[in-house]
Amino acid sequence: MKKLDRSFYEQDSLEVARSLLGKTLVFNNYKGIITETEAYMGFEDPASHAFRGRTKRTEIMFGEAGFSYVYLIYGMYYCLNFVTEKKDFPSAILIRGLLIYEPVKLLLDGPGKICKLLGITKEQNGVDIINSENFYVADTGQTLEYSVSSRIGIKTGLDKMWRFVANLKNTPLTN
DNA sequence: ACCCCGATCGTA
DNA sequence: ACGATCGGGGTT
């Protein structure tokens, strides 16, 4: 497995969101294939946390690519994102679907479920996933067919087709 | 200090 | 369709 380097995350957010499908997320002892992503990016995305500018929470989205952005939503669930593009351009990719294949086989369909099972909390906010040994994304040479749609759970920015979902049917996913 | 509300999810 | 649950961020 080849760990993705920072230049991967520095690409256009939609390209990163698409390319993350089929990659393997590694967190401690867990490994899983990313199956669903959403992009939140730029200054004209009303659904992005960074839409109204820099705050203590969103500062990470304005930072260097290749860092984690983890936040608490609805008082009970954490959501995992990876910061993309260049410094001062606010952008991140939300990880919404994960097919765990180690140490268990389990499809996690939803950002809250992923963080709950992996044990990702605000402790994992702001981690440099390029230089971490137990939290990173790797290329396993897998490419997946995918569908595009508008993002889930938001009331604005529904015109943007920034959600990417892998087609899991007829795909050799875990050997 | 106060209030609104959310990149969700399980239950009904 | 709805409630749980709480921190972020804007407003007073």
- Nearest nt by C1' to A61 Cα: B7
3-state secondary structure of A113: helix
> Mean pLDDT, to the nearest integer, of A159-173?
86
Distance A51 CA to C10 C1' (A): 14
User: How many C-beta atoms lie closer than 10 Å to residue A147's C-beta?
Assistant: 11
- Nearest nt by C1' to A41 Cα: B7
pLDDT for residue A1: 87
pLDDT for residue A27: 98
- AA identity, residue A75: G
d(CA A145, CA A73): 30
pLDDT for residue A171: 64
What's chain A's average pLDDT? 96
Distance A141 CA to C5 C1' (A): 41
Continuous H helices in A10-162: 13-20, 111-118
pTM over 0.85: yes
Distance A107 CA to C8 C1' (A): 31
> Mean pLDDT, to the nearest integer, of A148-175?
88
Percent of residues, chain A, with pLDDT higher than 70? 97
pLDDT tens for A20-71 read 999 999 999 999 999 999 999 999 999 999 999 999 999 999 999 999 999 9
What pLDDT band is residue A173 in, cutting at 50, 70 and 90? low
Asked if residue A175 has pLDDT above 80, the reply is no
Contact A40, A92 (CB under 8 A): yes
The answer to whether A121 CB sits below 7 Å from nucleic acid chain C is: no
Contact A34, A106 (CB under 8 A): no
d(CA A73, CA A94): 13
> Which two tokens mark A43?
């200054």
Distance A77 CA to C3 C1' (A): 15
The answer to whether A72 CB sits below 7 Å from nucleic acid chain C is: yes
pLDDT for residue A169: 81
> Which two tokens mark A29?
């002892």
> Mean pLDDT, to the nearest integer, of A5-16?
98
